[in-house]
Structure 1
Amino acid sequence: MASTNNLKFYIFLAFVAIILANVLKSGLFPINNDIKRTLGYPENSLLNFTELSGRYGYLSEEHTLVTEDGYILTIFRINGKQCAGKLKKPPVVLMHGLLLSSDLWLDAGPDAGLAYLISDACYDLWVGNQRGNYYSRRHVRLNPDKDEEFWQFSADEIGLYDIPATIDYVLNTTGEEKLNYIGYSQGAGTFLIMCSERPGYCDKVNILIALAPATRLTNTKSVLAQSILGGAQQLEGLLAAIGIYEALPKGALNQELLAFVCKFSATSEFICGNLIATLDSSHPGSISKETIKISFGHSPAGTSVRTLARYGQALSSDKFQKYDYGKPRNLDIYGEEKPPSYNLSTVTIPFVTLYGKNDNLVATEDVLWLIKELPNVLEAVEVADPMWNHFDVPYSQFSKDLIFPKVNEYLQKYSIY
């Protein structure tokens, strides 16, 4: 862990960043895409999921679904260019991680982005979005710009409501009884939450393929991540007192500034590549300059301060547990002083995980801990490249060789041609 003085400094910076992301919203932000084009932003960084996939000849559809607690989520269906009339069954759901969106699966381009690779293999691919990012920042009655209640969620509620709603929507739309699920980081952790809280939903899934699954974060090595998440935990009450509940939304000053800086070839790798390396770890040459430019046009994608705070709590816990409200509210909500742990023994479906030895966000030790807790682990694969880290999963130009073959192997085992 970082020294106390360093952590205090980084926590202060995290606090300033969240303040800037919320207070400095104005008519200047987000910058109009037409203006960005005149300034030379990469075109792919300005496009949404359907526009970007369509640019490369892929057929995609935008769908909306509503969770039991009223959040309106956007989900995309994408089919490969040569797959008309020959899609495999059952459907596949691909879910993003913290502060990201469905766009991350396209940012590395058709030769490396997992959404392209999976759909090109003719799977019926559905790419989800979790509440709070820019694709899912709506509610049937709450206004995210006015109602603090909209932001009173963390990964707990995402697992309890968003993942089940996504599964139900895909199955109801396709008429299938089961699907295959691929979750990255928070996208895997929230699936495990669902299985613990709503175990019947695990029966609707054939297999969980977990890419760098985020559950407990006891051994997270990234000082910057410790600072952002720990800062959110310590400052959540103060931020709430000044009316800030949303964290790092797309279109806010800090995201727009990063997108601007990262668009220049001279600074994209030196500044933005180094930022990725500082947040995670260094892996020279893995993420191309072009992918770096595009990805910062789509991220950070936004979430709640509470979600960050919950992960801040996870840094100092050796369990995979629910959000800690403090003793009085824990008693009211959970019936006990401490937040309960999730029951991972309920995750009885086949489980496969891929993880990187150089991942400073979801450490190998925490992945190995998770494996021991689950009853039906088919395989745990350490990616062959010893430099493989957390952000390599969606962004690396080598995903086609290092990630996709194993994903495809297990999708084939649980698919009908």
Structure 2
Amino acid sequence: MAFKANLTLNVLFISFALILTNVIRLRLLPFNDDAKRSLGYPSDSLLNFTELATEYGYRSEEHTVVTEDGYMLTIFRIVKQNCQGVMNGPPVVLMHGLLQSSDAWLDAGPDAGLAYLLADACFDLWVGNQRGNYYARRHVRYDPDADADFWNFSVDEIGLYDVPATIDYVLNHTHSEKLNFIGYSQGSGTFFIMCSERPGYCDKVNVLIGLAPAARQTYTKSVIYRIACITIAGMEGMLRAVGFEEIFSKGQLSQELLGFICQMKALAEPLCGTGEQLFDSFHPGSISNRTLRVMFGHFPAGTSVRNMARYGQSMLTDKFQKFDFGAEKNSLIYGEERPPQYNMNRVTVPVVIMYGLNDHLVDPKDIDWLVENLPNVLSVKRVADPLWNHFDVTYSRYTGKMLFPAVHRYLLKFSS
């Protein structure tokens, strides 16, 4: 017990150190890929989405979505070579969670990565990216390295602009009337925001499959995640006032340091695996040593300080509401002193919810609240493994057994 307590304190200390180094924007001089290979980095950790797909026999297309407010999002279409001409329709959009990118769906490898499994089942799969990560760090006017306005966003703007723009692009490109949507964590939460704020967009989707969907996060158990987000929420105004806008981006000290430590076979599981589980919850053996070594080449993928603050705010209320700027600014922006709540009754699309009992980021109590407040819940499925947690959705070696069969079944139900 004393060892576990000491380990927890050490991980907490390291986590705050990583937050600090991100905030003051310390950057390592990055090794080039050749140097990383010579140091033993797994090759998959150095590849981008297209390169990973190609390596394992899939064809990938790269597309650029431009949102109404000017953000340029790279999204990918991935196809299994032997499925061409016999695709299951309509198209499927797969959306990542907080601090992730499209690469998260490939990091577990072709036997477990959900993007690979869906492509193997011959779905017309489109894998999205949301503003602020390294695939969505462009704008028609703003330079993310020079213009603070680029980082003036949270999940509120992602739901208002990024998700509808992605849906419209896929529908227009494929000449489809509707699509199916799979959202993990933030990927589902931003979908709910879209439905609340953009009338008619729910009608463009046949079904939402919400994997550990994150709306409100009142009961989040993760001590590290909770302290980090609430601390950033309390410091957000000060941090932004002195010019600190971006956090946990690829190439910053936290990501480079994690990538360096976790590529070592001897350290990946005992150190990085334990740290990841302390951040979420313990599920021994679920994420393989190989996946741990690969994922930290792509994670964390970056976001805004404001977005992290928004999550901190969500842990201090029992409501699913917009960003709280304080009474005075709220009055100017919203016309009332308190931030408005999102209208969940507008999420009229059929919703399938899948969650884990051992999820310490999106707590089952918040899932219960979500189920009670959504008007058209088709199914609620608790993953059979009692230790299934939040990160298992993208990184577990057991995804093909624990998650994919139900996802596949509901996609087929809403496919032609």
TM surpasses 0.5: yes
- Do the aligned residues in 2 keep the contact of 1:11 with 1:228 (CA within 8 Å)? no
Q: Deviations over 1:322-341 (max 9, x none)?
A: 00000011001111101011
Indicate if the aligned counterparts of 1:218 and 1:316 stay in contact, CA closer than 8 A: yes
- How far the C-alpha of 1:76 sits from its partner, in A, is 0.2
Say if 1:273 and 1:11 are closer, same or farther in 2 by CA, change over 3 A. closer
Q: TM-score, normalised by structure 2?
A: 0.96
Tell me which amino acid in the other structure corresponds to 1:150.
Answer: F
* Residue in structure 2 matched with residue 353 of structure 1 by the alignment: 353
**C-alpha distance in 1 between matches for 2:343 and 2:10:** 36
Question: Contact (CA 8 Å) 1:76, 1:127: kept in 2 or not?
Answer: yes
Are residues 262 and 77 of structure 1, via their aligned partners in 2, closer, same or farther at CA, if it must alter by over 3 Å? same
Partners of 1:107 and 1:295 within 8 A in 2: yes
| Structure 2 SS opposite 1:297 | coil
**Deviations 1:18-76 (Å, cap 9, x if unpaired)?**
342254555x5332111111111000000000000100000011111100000000000
What's the counterpart of residue 276 of structure 1? Answer: 276
The answer for the alignment partner of 1:364 in structure 2 is 364
Aligned equivalent of 1:318: 318
Give matches, 1:329-408, under 5 Å.
Answer: 329-408=329-408
Spell out, residue by residue over 1:103-142, the C-alpha distance to the aligned partner (whole angstroms, 9 max, x if none): 0000001110000000110000000000000000000000
Q: Distance in 1 between matches of 2:142 and 2:239?
A: 20
Aligned residue in 2 for 1:21: 22
Kept in 2, the 8 Å contact 1:210–1:352? The answer is yes
Using the size of structure 1 for normalisation, the TM-score is: 0.96
In 1, Cα distance between the equivalents of 2:9 and 2:308? 17
Work out the CA distance in 1 between the residues paired with 2:231 and 2:14.
Answer: 9
> Which residue of structure 2 lines up, in the alignment, with residue 71 of structure 1?
71
Q: Structure 2 CA distance, aligned partners of 1:89 and 1:22?
A: 44
Structure 1 residue 11: Cα displacement: 9.1
Distance of 2:156 and 2:275 partners within structure 1: 28
**Cα distance in 1 between the residues matched to 2:157 and 2:86:** 36
Instruction: Identify if the C-alpha distance between structure 1 residues 118 and 267 changes in structure 2 by more than 3 Å, giving closer, same or farther.
Output: same
Who is 2:230 aligned against?
Answer: 230
SS in 2 for 1:244: coil
Q: Does 1:55 align with 2:60?
A: no
Matched residue type, 2:175: G
SS at 1:93 equivalent? strand
Residue in structure 1 matched with residue 114 of structure 2 by the alignment:
114
User: CA contact under 8 A between 1:281 and 1:389: conserved in structure 2?
Assistant: yes
User: Which residue of 2 is the match for residue 30 of structure 1?
Assistant: 30
Instruction: Evaluate the alpha carbon distance shift between residue 326 and residue 24 of structure 1 in structure 2; reply closer, same or farther with a 3 A threshold.
Output: closer
Secondary structure, aligned partner of 1:199: coil
Aligned residue pair count: 409
TM superposition shift of 1:358 = 0.1
Give the structure 1 partner of residue 241 of structure 2. 241
**What's the CA shift string for 1:300-322, capped at 9, x where partnerless?**
00000000000000101101110
Report if aligned partners of 2:112, 2:400 keep a CA contact under 8 Å in 1: yes
CA distance in 1, matches of 2:400, 2:135: 27
Contact kept? 1:199, 1:347, Cα under 8 Å: no
Cα distance in 2 between the residues matched to 1:42 and 1:12: 28
Q: Distance in 2 between matches of 1:263 and 1:275?
A: 14
The equivalent residue for 1:179 is 179
CA distance in 1, matches of 2:279, 2:232: 16
CA contact (8 A) 1:236 1:309 kept: yes
SS in 1 for 2:81: coil
| Stretches (4+) displaced over 6 A | 7-13
Paired residue secondary structure (1:220): coil
Identity over the aligned pairs, expressed in percent? 61
Match of 2:4 in 1: none
**Which residue identity lines up with residue 254 of structure 1 in the other structure?**
S
Q: Secondary structure at the match of 1:82?
A: helix
Contact kept, 8 Å, 1:14 with 1:231, in 2: the verdict is no
Distance of 1:233 and 1:60 partners within structure 2: 38
Q: Residues of 2 paired with 1:29 and 1:120: CA distance?
A: 39
Single out whichever of 8-17 and 259-268 deviates more from structure 2.
8-17
More divergent stretch after superposition (151-160 vs 230-239): 230-239
Say whether the 8 Å CA contact 1:212–1:353 is kept in structure 2.
Answer: yes
Q: Which runs of no fewer than 5 residues in structure 2 stay unpaired?
A: 1-7
Structure 2 equivalent of residue 93 of structure 1: 93
Q: Look up the SS of the partner of 1:162 in the other structure.
A: helix
Q: Structure 1 pair 323/24, CA: closer, same or farther in 2 (3 Å)?
A: closer
Tell me which amino acid in the other structure corresponds to 2:180: N
* Partner Cα separation in structure 2 for residue 10 and residue 323 of structure 1: 29
Q: Residues of 2 paired with 1:98 and 1:130: CA distance?
A: 9
Q: Which runs of 5+ in 1 are unaligned?
A: 1-6
Q: CA deviation at 1:241?
A: 2.7
AA aligned opposite 1:263: Q
Q: CA deviation at 1:239?
A: 1.3
